[in-house]
Copies of this chain bind each other. A is one copy, B any other.
Amino acid sequence: MSRSAPRVVLVNPNTTASMTEIALRAAQEVAAPGTVLVGRTSPTGPASIESHVDESLCVPGLLQAVAEETDADAFVVACFGDPGVEAVRELTGVPVVGIAEAAMKSATLLGRTFSVVTTLERTIGRARDLVTRHGLTAQCAGLHACDIPVLELETDPDGTYDRLLKVSAEVLRHDDCDVLVLGCAGMADLPGRLAAELGVPVVDGVAAATTMAEGLVRQGLVPRREGELAPPVPKAYTGVMGQVVPAAVRLSTPGDPPASTP
């Protein structure tokens, strides 16, 4: 039964497989015994997600990856903007947890306020939208950038850590927050060291989302399939997007190019 061995699929909505690996390792460190963790990288889209354009263009690939995982008990969407989370809920009918929402809500269990340290300044707007959307305005003490592009997180791990430590210490002094939240899946290997050095809990969204997804599965909770999250009605597709759309939501008409699997 799924409850005793939940299958949780972690999907990386950008197309950089090494980042999926980092996230998967972070998830594995916190997963309960018996949980089956699967990592998936989006098959098509941008290499990293740092703008509204990137965020828009990553979702089709995310949905493709998701559609291929037909026996998942839950999904984790491993990008701090939580792109496509509601579309994945519609498509799958199982619990879906975005890492930003999971990180912020976990943080609120640990103290009155949290601050976020993310990659580039320009991504703060999207994080602000999520804070508002989830009702966390009063709990969020600040949103800050460390000015490291996503793909650089991996290529220069020592520089990244030093920079993140410096910015986090400043944030802590300025915001006097109770918890720090790391705002990128690519930072998933860093919270332990940071927490030890700074003396505050540091939440990584991948770990937080993984335990929340497991928890929802263990509780046997599945979203309602009426109203907003009912299965989407299949639609006719024009042009190249017809190759990307999962078959379940595409209306087949004779002569169509083949839809995405499965």
Binding site for B on A (CB under 8 A): 3-4, 15, 30-35, 42-48, 50-57, 59-61, 63, 84, 86-87, 89-91, 95, 97, 101-102, 105-106, 108-112, 121-122, 124-125, 128-129, 132-139, 149, 176, 178-179, 192, 195, 199-201, 203-204, 207-208, 211-212, 214-216, 218-230, 232-233, 235-245, 249, 251
12 contacts between A and B (CB under 8 A): A15-B237, A32-B32, A33-B33, A46-B236, A47-B251, A53-B90, A53-B232, A55-B87, A56-B87, A57-B241, A122-B227, A178-B223
Bound-complex Cα distance A84 to B216 (A): 26
Q: Closest residue to A15 on the B side, CB-wise?
A: B238
A235 B48 Cβ-Cβ under 8 A: yes
Q: Closest residue to A204 on the B side, CB-wise?
A: B219
With A43-B239, A101-B109, A227-B176 as known contacts, state yes or no: A219 contacts B30, CB within 8 Å.
yes
Bound-complex Cα distance A54 to B211 (A): 30
Q: Besides the contacts A52-B86, A135-B136, what 19 more A-B pairs have beta carbons closer than 8 Å?
A: A4-B33, A32-B218, A33-B34, A43-B239, A45-B238, A45-B241, A52-B90, A54-B235, A57-B59, A57-B60, A61-B238, A110-B223, A121-B227, A124-B228, A125-B227, A129-B133, A135-B135, A208-B215, A211-B219
Residues on B with C-beta less than 8 A from A109 are 95, 97, 101-102, 105, 212, 216
Q: Closest residue to A229 on the B side, CB-wise?
A: B111
Residues on B with C-beta less than 8 A from A112 are 125, 128, 228
Q: Closest residue to A208 on the B side, CB-wise?
A: B219
Describe A's contact surface by its main secondary structure.
Answer: mixed
CB < 8 Å neighbour of A219 from B54, B136, B207: B207
A125 B32 Cβ-Cβ under 8 A: no
With A133-B129, A211-B211, A227-B121 as known contacts, state yes or no: A89 contacts B52, CB within 8 Å.
yes
CB < 8 Å neighbour of A237 from B45, B52, B55, B121: B45
A110 B221 Cβ-Cβ under 8 A: yes
CB < 8 Å neighbour of A139 from B111, B135, B199: B135
